[in-house]
Structure 1
Amino acid sequence: MTHYRIAVIPGDGIGKEVIPAGIEVLQAVAAREGGFTFESETFDWGSDLYRATGRMMPEDGLETLRPFDAIYFGAVGDTDIPDHVTLWGLRLNICQSFDQYANVRPARLLPGIEGPLRRGHLDCVIVRENSEGEYAGQGGRSHRGLPEEVATEVSIFTRRGVERIMRYAFDLAMTRCKHLTVVTKSNAQRHGMVLWDEIAREVGRDYPGVEVRFELVDAMTTTFVLKPESIDVVVATNLHADILSDLASALSGSLGIGPTANLDPERRFPSMFEPIHGSAFDIMGKGIANPLGSFWTGALLLEHLGEAGAAARLMRAIERVTAAGGPFTPDLGGKATTGDVTQAVISALQADNE
Structure 2
Amino acid sequence: MKILVTGGAGFIGSAVIRHIIKNTSDSVINVDKLTYAGNLESLSEVSSDERYCFEQVDICDKKALEKVFSTHQPDAVMHLAAESHVDRSIDGPAAFIETNIVGTYTLLEVARGYWNQLDQVGKAAFRFHHISTDEVYGDLEGTDDLFTENTSYEPSSPYSASKASSDHLVRAWLRTYGLPTIVTNCSNNYGPYHFPEKLIPLMVLNALDGKPLPVYGDGMQIRDWLYVEDHARALYKVVTEGQVGETYNIGGHNEKANIDVVKTICAILDELVPSASNPNFAAKGHPELDSRANPSIQQATGYASLITYVKDRPGHDVRYAIDAAKIEKELGWKPEETFDTGIRKTVEWYLRNENWWQRVLDGTYNFERLGNN
Shorter chain as denominator, the TM-score bin is 0.3 to 0.5
Q: Which has the higher helix share?
A: 2
Q: Which has the higher strand share?
A: 1
Relative contact order higher in (CA < 8 Å, ≥ 6 apart): 1
